[in-house]
Structure 1
Amino acid sequence: MREGLRATLAVSAGFWCALGEMLRSCAARLRMLGALRKDEHWPARNLGPALRWFSSEKDFCLPNPSWSEDLRHLFHQFMKKCEDGSWTYISEKEMLDLQKKASELSFQNVKPMKKKQFPSTLTRNFQEGLGFEYAMFYNKDERRIVCLFQGGPLLQGFPGLLHGGAIVTMVDYSISILSTKTIGFTMTAYINITYKRPIPIGSVVVINGQVDKIEERKVFLSSSVHSADEKTLYSEATSLFVQLNLEKSET
């Protein structure tokens, strides 16, 4: 009887400890959101004007006030590399045009959402500084892509840390552009990612992607996520992309 009571009390204590930890985590997140609403640098999220609409008039891959010094420094470094033609800057318009054309050619039976319903791609569906801030550069000869990425507070997983889903989203987006520019329009078959270390919110990371081999319509790629100074490895991934069959339309 006493042993059963002790076991029950132990389970109960464990439950309340776990519940307390969860509530503390929720409270910390709420405090952070409250701070964001009071801080002019992180404006409150408003699902009206906060959304970024498809437009060829503005290039969201160019520096904005939310970019850190590290991100600006790396961006200007790679823009310098573009001067001799070895690297090419990929504008927002080029990224969106690739997606739009691939969709139109391969998924003709899918009706696109109206502009008022479909503000932007996932990675641009935030105010400046709150979500995904990035710029990409492509090296045709080396079949490589580099994405400079800074994750904002709305991409938080554990308190103060970038959500793993946000990381793999940017990895997928980067290497999908690389594979498409290598052999034509492609889609993700799989991505296997290994997380080595957590990434603090607001940190700048460098995503390096490269083509390992091509087998008919299959493109095998590898990628890594490093700190801005390249001293810290945050994650590694291998992936397979498949070239779309433009002769057949699928839904």
Structure 2
Amino acid sequence: MLHICSRLLGGGAVLCLRTSRSHTGPAPVRWFSVGRPSHGPQDYSLPNATWSRNTRDLYDKYEELSKTGGWRRIKSYNSSVHHMSDQPPVGDRVTRLFTRNIDQDGLGFEYCMFYNVAEKRMVCIFQPGPYLEGPPGYTHGGCIATMLDSTLGAIAVYVYGHVMTANLNINYRNPIPLGCTVLVDGHLEKLDGRKVFTRGQIRSYDDRTVHTEATGLFITLNCPDEGGSAD
């Protein structure tokens, strides 16, 4: 039996889970969360008390790499308009970014993205919460597709500006347990006029397991005069 309890000091978030190993698969996970009070726009890309040790270790790794200028953390708010601009939303909004629609930490999409301009590469540290369940104990395939679409689409946005998804082709290799840490790793393949081709995969935090592979095609909404190819 494993019991984990994480608390944000100062009246913040509390997350507890209880699980046990079983020869038939993971046991049901019990999660309890209390949302932390909000003081202005929240940058969801920053660590919170529900992040596991593995999630925090990956975050620290890329934060350290960002000090050299090769990588930079992408600030993330609950507004899609400002999601990729590093700017917090202004005023009250009715709409919300799909992956940021749960106020309580740890229950849904816990993730943080880092972008490498020179490599045209985006990595997303992702920890799926209990509200993303599909098969008992595992992450729903649609939620996995959402994170691939978000990560590969973010690459297209940084390279070309506003885009829409035209095609997302996914091969599911190994299921992703709820609460584990995975790395969504994507890069630009080529540009062809208004078409932006990307490729990526989801790996376990230690790179030992490939969970998912995908390719994405995005269409630019404001086409520049010329396209190009990724280096």
- Name the TM-score, length of structure 2 as normaliser: 0.75
Shift of 1:117: 3.7
Whichever residue aligns with residue 163 of structure 2, its letter is T
Q: Which secondary structure state, in structure 2, belongs to the residue aligned with residue 92 of structure 1?
A: coil
Matched, 1:174 2:151: yes
Aligned counterpart, 1:26: none
Which of 57, 60, 74 is the matching residue for 2:44? Answer: 60
Verify the 8 A CA contact 1:136 1:148 in the aligned structure 2. Answer: yes
Distance in 2, Cα, partners of 1:177 & 1:190: 15
Aligned counterpart, 1:124: 100
Matched, 1:201 2:185: no
**Counterparts in 2 of 1:1-251, with a 5 A limit?**
35-36=30-31, 39=32, 42-43=33-34, 57-93=41-77, 96-98=80-82, 115=92, 117-118=94-95, 120-126=96-102, 127-245=104-222
C-alpha RMSD of the superposition: 2.8
Q: Which has the higher contact order (CA 8 A, sep 6+)?
A: 1
Whichever residue aligns with residue 228 of structure 1, its letter is Y
Shift of 1:245: 3.2
Distance in 2, Cα, partners of 1:145 & 1:90: 10
- Cα-to-partner distance string for 1:23-53 (whole Å, 9 max, x where unaligned): xxxxxxxx969x54xx4xx34xxxxxx6999
Distance change >3 Å, CA 212–CA 98, structure 1 → 2: farther
Distance in 1, Cα, partners of 2:163 & 2:132: 27
Verify the 8 A CA contact 1:52 1:124 in the aligned structure 2. Answer: no
The structure with more helix, counted as a fraction of residues:
1
- Name the TM-score, length of structure 1 as normaliser: 0.69
Verify the 8 A CA contact 2:77 2:83 in the aligned structure 1. Answer: no
Verify the 8 A CA contact 2:121 2:185 in the aligned structure 1. Answer: yes
Distance change >3 Å, CA 150–CA 176, structure 1 → 2: same
Unaligned runs of 5+ in 2: 1-26, 86-90, 225-231
Distance change >3 Å, CA 95–CA 83, structure 1 → 2: farther
The structure with more strand, counted as a fraction of residues:
2
Distance in 1, Cα, partners of 2:43 & 2:82: 15
- Cα-to-partner distance string for 1:153-189 (whole Å, 9 max, x where unaligned): 0000011000010111011111111101011211100
Unaligned runs of 5+ in 1: 1-30, 44-49, 102-113
Structure 1 stretches of 4+ moved >6 Å: 50-53
Whichever residue aligns with residue 75 of structure 2, its letter is S
